[in-house]
Amino acid sequence: QAPPHIMFATLKFAALLLAVVVCWATQDYDYNDAEIDEEPTLGDSPYGSLWPLPQKVKISTVVFKLSGASFHIFDAKESSSGASCRLLQNAYRRYDEYIFTSSRKQGQNKSKKALASDMSELQVWITSADSECDSYPSVTSDESCEFTGMVFVFFHFSHLADTLIQSDLQLYCLETFSQLVYKDEYGAKSINRTDIHDFPRFAHRGLLLDTSRHFLPIKVILANLEAMAWNKFNVFHWHIVDDPSFPYLSRTFPQLSQHGAYHPYTHVYTPSDVKMIIEFARLRGIRVVPEFDTPGHTQSWGKGQKDLLTPCYSGASPSGSFGPVNPMLNTTYDFMSMFFKEVNTVFPDAYVHLGGDEVDFSCWKSNPDIQKFMEQQGFGMDYSKLESFYIQRLLDIITTTNKGYMIWQEVFDNGVKLKSDTVVHVWMGNKVEEELQKVTEAGFTTILSAPWYLDYISYGQDWQKFYRAEPLSFKGQLASSDESIKTPTCVKYIYGNFPVFWPNTPGLKMPK
């Protein structure tokens, strides 16, 4: 039986080099060379609890035992990291608890001595000069893993089976190792000698959670981050604000959440909350990319920031309702400049998601001042040009913060001038392959989420459609480059998302 956390699943991208080295000189190894099937099949997996399925797996029939009394995870003496690396030490404790929780809580194995067939330790050897202990994960983080079963004499353990992780960033290799551990028929922790060559197919394996439509308690966010790490997801796309509510508590503009949140005290994420979530994610190799979507999806913004939104008109008089951000006022851009400077300091990731989707032009069309501005700018009646005008000025502001940006596909479709490192997020379900071809041929990195909106609930085994969705099934000169496509999963409208999300998400076609 696999550790309890293996029941969940995730996807993520960075890179690791991991070598499992076993010292066992007297045993011949009988390998079952595992090939990866293209189509899902029903029945027990021949690979146990490995998830996502590694690129290449060879599982031997040779079994070693792990004793809670003798097994330890620690740094190899050659490692560039050591006891001062909190990220690693935290991970060692975490995975030790995952593997041995029940036995150690019950006080078992305290006096048991290690047997000759025991695997006594897992040594972690960080080979990179920069162990990344104090940095945040990035899109370039190394996540490749190498488990190699072989006779290894360096440690001089002639009777113990030992394992070496050789890596630049080993968090997901530790996860793979923990997934190999199981209980035999007598309840003993066991592990088969295994060769694994693995690396992520996509650099961005993300989960979107919407905390505006439904405020999610911090414990729910942390539980999802934990499950993401178990399943090797590496990007938490935090859709933190939207029309319904503004739960982000801004130090610069506290009135935004004071008036825009469902409740100004109980339903907000304070600066300390955000910092804790980012650190919790960092310790699990997960990036946190916030989304602050404008000019649409901003009704909650307007409740706390006067004159930010466009007044809508009914005939010649204001209707009392408001539309998207007002793109003609200089005060709009002054506000955005100050707000995103704060975002830049609060969220350390190299990217921020700027949204730009589903802008309703009807309010702009009704406003006489906007109509005059359109005429002055020579936009005629093409309100997509007005949207592009706003987006372009916003992108100029973001550029001054030295952050990269992600945008929804409509911004690209409307012809906004984008920097070469812009990430275009394809989410609309119609003509997906055509859109991917256009975006990648234009030279932009792409995130694809269109096939994986889990709020579209259906009866039966709907996980199969998620599994069969192939991100690279489009024509285009970059179609063979996995690095140009990134794949997240989106959950917007489901409250209590955990039981809905995690049974479905493991079906995403990431392993190979």
Task: Report the SS3 class of residue 91.
Answer: helix
Question: What's the number of CA atoms in the CB half-sphere (13 Å) around residue 95?
Answer: 28
Is 358 designated active site?
Answer: yes
Task: Report the SS3 class of residue 462.
Answer: coil
- To 5 degrees, how large is the angle CA 425–CA 427–CA 430? 130
Distance of CA 27 to the CA centre of its chain: 41
Distance of CA 149 to the CA centre of its chain: 31
The rounded distance, in Å, linking the Cα atoms of 404 and 420 is 10
The rounded distance, in Å, linking the Cα atoms of 257 and 152 is 58
What is the residue whose two structure tokens read 């007297």? Answer: 26
**Pairing between strand 72-75 and 145-147?**
unpaired
What is the residue whose two structure tokens read 């992520």? Answer: 200
Q: Judge contact between 20 and 165, C-beta under 8 A.
A: yes
Exactly one of 358, 434, 441, 483 is catalytic; name it: 358
Q: What is the DSSP letter of 269?
A: B
Q: Which of 263, 233, 231 is nearest to 246 (CA)?
A: 263
Sign of CA dihedral 367, 368, 372, 378: positive
Task: Report the SS3 class of residue 70.
Answer: coil
The rounded distance, in Å, linking the Cα atoms of 373 and 137 is 44
The rounded distance, in Å, linking the Cα atoms of 107 and 24 is 29
Q: What is the DSSP letter of 430?
A: S
* Token pair in block for residue 135: 């940095």
Contacting residues for 367 by C-beta, under 8 A, at least 6 apart: 310, 311, 312, 313, 323
Question: What's the number of CA atoms in the CB half-sphere (13 Å) around residue 509?
Answer: 20
Q: 124-163: buried (b, 16+ CB within 10 Å) or exposed (e) per residue?
A: bbbbeeebbbeebbbbebbbbbbbbbeebeeeeeeebbbb
The rounded distance, in Å, linking the Cα atoms of 248 and 256 is 8
Q: Which of 3, 124, 119, 123 is nearest to 68 (CA)?
A: 119
What is the residue whose two structure tokens read 């809905």? Answer: 500
Task: Report the SS3 class of residue 190.
Answer: strand
Q: Which of 218, 225, 341 is nearest to 272 (CA)?
A: 218
Element (H, E) at 372: helix 368-377
Enzyme catalytic residues: 358
